Structure 1
């Protein structure tokens, strides 16, 4: 089904718009009834579960940072069977990222070039969504994914003040994350290299 949708629909539109459209579909999978149905088909194989650092990953397969930048699709991604979702990269301050176009497809190579530039609504904006995702996971019989948060330097912050910027993101996000990952650069973004 994906090949059909990609070939005749998604590949004909702007890469960032296609990503946004697919993202909406994944967010819909977070709805209670739809999520229950999705989990029937995507339930992780119990023998693949991994426990490490005090965390239990229902599946060793997860989504890396860069896909769910603002923690808006954690439930949908969990309902697809991912054992962890790493949201972000989140910065202490909101930022729009690089100018468009910033996402490019290499269709013959089945690859994508990402020059997004840490576009996100900021650490504070993500806190309520991360809190809700963890509460849903605690109430759910089927559990949910481990939630990681990837933090990066805010573009407008001078390099000499980067440590303080990272500390602010840590202060805000550590209480609502299962783990933090630090992203130290965005090589294609001025102010983040």
Structure 2
């Protein structure tokens, strides 16, 4: 299905047909969020298009915003296969992907070279490279920010995947505050013509008091939103 979506986006006849048949635009659905104007409220979460290769294909199908990634500072293969399992009876998936992606430099180059066929909002979700120690996480996120911020309508700091060892430790406010501050400063330093909205993505397994602490921190730092939630 993923390959067919990419093919359709590159084929003029299929692109025209699909855009007309599958992606009608209704004025009453137009949405404004994060200071961005979108065709509607329906978006594609990070995890499907990890390397920014199917943006036009997904926009063609009617998604009003598309979040690519998760992208890490360095390329990495992710966890060994098999790593994605469908539970038909439970109507669920088991996700053990592990941030497989081509890395921030490669994804940034692809976004820079993109000639959009369909106008859509593109968010970029960034995470920690697996081999980077927790103490050096901020520098890794900054590397991704410096590469990708200019190509992002909004940025998401992912500190909540269960498939990268130690990543969720970064949700503790004493770790999260300097990390988010560093990313915000890097985005502002990299993109001087506009303010790139910044969000943080949290886990569904946080205790209520930890959710409150992250929310308070988001307000304190002037974040633009919280994405809830990641894989349990």
Distance 1:55 1:192 in 2: 29
Superposition pairs for residues 6-155 of structure 1, below 5 Å? 22-33=1-12, 34-41=14-21, 42-133=23-114, 135-136=115-116, 143-155=118-130
Q: Which has the higher contact order (CA 8 A, sep 6+)?
A: 1
Aligned twin of 1:184: 159
Distance 1:50 1:37 in 2: 25
Distance 1:102 1:132 in 2: 31
- Quick one: structure 1 residues 127 and 188, their matched pair in 2 at CA, closer, same or farther if it must change by over 3 Å? closer
Distance 1:40 1:81 in 2: 10
Structure 2 unmatched ranges of 5 or more = 169-232
3-state DSSP of counterpart to 1:120: coil
Structure 1 unmatched ranges of 5 or more = 1-21
Q: Is the 8 A contact 1:149 1:179 kept in 2?
A: yes
Moved more, 120-129 or 25-34: 25-34
CA displacement at 1:192 relative to structure 2 = 3.5
Distance 1:191 1:131 in 2: 32
Q: Is the 8 A contact 1:98 1:189 kept in 2?
A: no
Alignment length (residue pairs):
166
Q: Deviations over 1:44-63 (max 9, x none)?
A: 32210112333111121110
When normalised by structure 2's length, the TM-score is 0.68
**Which one of 139, 147, 157 corresponds to residue 172 of structure 1?**
147
CA displacement at 1:84 relative to structure 2 = 0.5
3-state DSSP of counterpart to 2:135: helix
3-state DSSP of counterpart to 2:105: helix
3-state DSSP of counterpart to 1:29: helix
Runs of 4+ with deviation above 4 angstroms: none
Distance 1:187 1:105 in 2: 18
Aligned twin of 2:138: 163
CA displacement at 1:130 relative to structure 2 = 1.4
When normalised by structure 1's length, the TM-score is 0.81
The two structures, once aligned, show a CA RMSD in angstroms of 1.5
